[in-house]
Amino acid sequence: MAVSSILPAGCEVVPVERGVATLQPGEITFTVLARAETDEPGRRVTASIGLARPKEPTLYGYISEHHGYGLTERESGDHAEDLAATMLASTLGIEFDPDAAWNERKKVYETSELIVESLSLTAAAEGAPNGEWTCAVAAAVFRFVKLDGLP
């Protein structure tokens, strides 16, 4: 199922191994997916997921996806993280220069004490030498867990 750029309040980030162990075959999940593909030999493709969470756990955060060509894993990941953090910063009213480099804005976000975490996850690949399709995929998978006492 497609989801918006909103990271639900109280959402817990878990390691892949722990998360996969909780999924059941055929289960419907909410997913943010970044995917890039190529059939050009040697062409670099990247797919990244960015996430930004506010310090206040009752507030929502943001999640973003980025897919591109010719970028390093770091460049792609930084771009996705920047997208998510900038969306959150604007929602929280943090003043920043949108034309400043990501590293400069990240320092502003960290010193605001309103954003607790921003991170990214990236997959990268180079096109196969024989022209076969090559794909990079990064995903954030959400699993709803009903808590006692909640509808």
Q: What are the extents of the domains in the chain? A: 6-142
Q: pLDDT digit string (tens) for 6-34?
A: 898 888 888 889 988 989 899 888 889 99
DSSP string, 8-44: -TTPPP--HHHHHHH--TT---EEEEEEEEE-STT-E
pLDDT at 124: 97
Strand ranges (E), the chain: 6-7, 30-38, 44-54, 61-69, 115-126, 134-142
CATH number for the domain whose boundaries are 6-142: 3.50.20.10
- Tell me the pTM: 0.84
CA distance 142 to 11: 9
Provide the pLDDT confidence category of residue 37 given band limits of 50, 70 and 90.
Answer: very high
Q: pLDDT digit string (tens) for 61-100?
A: 999 999 999 999 999 999 999 999 888 888 888 877 777 7
Under 8 Å between Cβ of 49 and 139: yes
pLDDT at 147: 57
What does pLDDT average to over the chain? 87
